[in-house]
Amino acid sequence: MKPRVFSAMQPTSDSLQLGNYLGALVQWVKLQDTHEAIYSVVDLHALTVTPEPETLRRRTRVTAAQYLAAGVDPERSLVFVQSHVPEHAELAWLLSTYTGMGEAGRMTQFKDKSAKVGEAGTNVGLFTYPILMAADILLYDTDLVPVGEDQRQHLELSRDLAERLNTRLGEGSVVVPDAHIVKAVAKIYDLQEPTKKMSKTATSPKGTIEILQDPKQVAKNIKSAATDSDSVIAFDREAKPGISNLLTIYSALDGRSVEQLVADYEGKMYGHLKVDLADVVVEYLTPIRDNAMEWIESPERLDSVLEEGAAKARGIAGQTLARLYDRVGLVPAAGRR
Ligand code: AQP
């Protein structure tokens, strides 16, 4: 049996951004060759930012379409919507009874996100988000979770919970998952504020490269990326975060190493690199965007992939949940005996 990989993204925007793509989605596609792959659109997580109902519905499908367009193959991988598998919410409740208030309170993403929306916009779901994420992962006896750097701490919590369940409920209760974080692309930065990570919900749209964005806007954003006043093209994350971020993106898409790019651009201006990079990014994203549009314009085809994925996912998730319900001492319900 192949080891299992699980990962997911929230449908919080009309398009994924390049950080989601390089940090996670590229690895998802590669791992299909060596792993049994399960990928979800985690719409229950997106409820924590209280989206409009129609917006959430649209974004859920658009997010799935981008997975498929980027190369997730429904013949080889399960692709499904989180809310179609109710076991996620059920296991999250169980896990919440195994999570200390103190350890949940240490999650830095909660601190960042709650600071962004203020006290009035912060709900309990945002606080318990990492517990639902742990449920997403542990339900599938996941061996490996490909994510970007921002999810490392949440992954650690999932591992801690898995170990705790195995200690308290007996070995073999759940699989302890490992994070799969590819260092070179683990954190793609905002083009305007290159010390902050690129985000789907960034405050300035100019700082983001969206997968489904109009190519002219993509090129414009890259050409107006913030760089330092010095004009030497070199990689130095601390002293030259802007140009270093552009070199990281360039290298990831073009295949040349950062060192090679630095050598190739010796004596050239930042503007030169930005123009070339804009061409590289546009050329790279165009087929993905076109392919995503085809999926978006065939909602029945898309929904049938998601339906099939959910049915198979429920088969796995149901077994894990039944095992855990039994081990914690719940009386089995008729359908679960
Ligand atoms: N800038 C990034 N560089 C590398 N990887 C990144 N990821 C996100 N941003 C970068 C990875 O993409 C996946 C998306 O996870 P998510 O949708 O659950 O949300 P997130 O991590 O909070 O990503 P965003 O884009 O910043 O979304 P919003 O704006 O909704 O919060 C994860 O694997 C993440 O590590």
How do residues 306-325 score in pLDDT, each as one tens digit? 999 999 999 999 999 999 99
Could you give the CA distance from residue 21 to residue 171 in angstroms, rounded to a whole number?
36
How far is residue 170's CA from residue 88's CA, in Å, rounded to a whole number? Answer: 21
- Structure tokens given for 110: 């909660």
Q: Taking 90 as the threshold, does the pLDDT of residue 204 lie above it?
A: no
Ligand 1 binding pocket, CB closer than 6 Å: 9-10, 12, 17, 19-20, 23-24, 147-148, 150-151, 186-188, 197-201
Taking alpha carbons only, the member of 144, 149, 241 closest to residue 191 is 241
Tell me which long-range contacts 291-297 makes (C-beta under 8 A, separation of at least 24): 291/68, 291/69, 292/62, 292/65, 292/66, 292/68, 292/69, 292/211, 292/212, 293/212, 294/69, 295/64, 295/65, 295/68, 295/69, 296/61, 296/62, 296/65
Task: Identify which of 18, 20, 26 to mutate to test ligand 1's pocket (most ligand atoms within 8 A of the CB).
Answer: 20
Backbone angles phi, psi at 207, to 5 degrees: -85, -5
Q: Using alpha carbons, list the distances in angstroms from residue 33 to 5, 73, 151.
A: 11, 10, 23
The whole-number average pLDDT for the span 173-202 is 96
Which residue CA neighbors atom 27 of ligand 1 most closely? 200
Q: Is the pLDDT of residue 336 over 70?
A: no
Token reading at 50: 């209280």
Confidence of residue 117 (pLDDT cuts 50, 70, 90): confident
pLDDT in tens, 15-43: 999 999 999 999 999 999 999 999 999 99
* Percentage of residues in the chain having pLDDT higher than 90: 94
Average pLDDT over residues 93-115: 95
Nearest to 150 by CA among 205, 88, 207, 196: 196
Question: By the 8 A CB rule, do 28 and 193 touch?
Answer: no
Which residue lies with its CA nearest to atom 12 of ligand 1?
A: 20
